[in-house]
Amino acid sequence: MIATVHALVLAAEEAGTTTPHSWLPEPYEIIWGGLASVLVFGALFKFAGPAIAKAMRDRTAKIQGEIDASGTALTEARAAATQIRASKGDLQAERNRILAEADATAERVLADGRARIAAEAADADTKATADIAIAQGRVQAELQADVAAIASAATEQVVHGALDEATHQRLIEDFITKVGAGR
């Protein structure tokens, strides 16, 4: 068919036919062009039409699925926002509870610290009093020893100065006798 149309176009050119109107083609061109257009459009309608219709249905289904998915996502987002808002209120209550617990713990630690410091101060006071008593006893013992040593030395000086040699000998012998008799 295309060969026939081509042959007609070549024959018209050889004949030197010119178009009577500058805007309209020759009548045979209109007929053959119309027939060719009907054939092309018919083939498109028969073969491409179902594919185009299927593509349009698929596209419509895809768009509808996206609309449904976005509606579901919107519902989920609103539910999440509501839950977050509710949690925010819970967070404030939790914050207040934690702060109250922290205040109570701080008071308890402060009271325990004060009690421990008071106990340590009482222990330190008791220990200091005991140390003072021990030191006082030691000083008294040292003082008594020093006084006894000084008194002994003074007594010896007095006794040596007051005793003559005969009395001194008699006292030594009496002491030895007493020690010997005590055995």
Per-residue pLDDT of the chain (183 residues; tens, 9 = 90+): 777 767 766 666 666 555 566 677 788 888 999 999 999 999 988 998 899 899 999 999 999 999 999 999 999 999 998 888 777 767 777 888 888 999 999 999 999 988 999 888 888 889 989 889 898 888 888 877 877 777 777 677 666 666 677 777 887 788 778 776 755
Amino acid at 144: Q
The reply to whether the predicted model has a pTM over 0.85 is no
Residue 73 tokens, joined? 């996502």
Check: CB of residue 49 under 8 Å from CB of residue 42: no
Question: H/E element holding 79?
Answer: helix 49-162
d(C-alpha 45, C-alpha 61), whole Å: 22
Tell me the angle at which helices 2-15 and 27-43 cross, rounded to the nearest 10 degrees: 160
d(C-alpha 158, C-alpha 26), whole Å: 177
Please report the pLDDT score of residue 170 as a whole number: 80
d(C-alpha 90, C-alpha 92), whole Å: 5
Place of tokens 């024959």: 11
Q: How many residues does the chain have?
A: 183
**Residue 28 burial (CB count, 10 A):** 13
Please report the pLDDT score of residue 24 as a whole number: 78
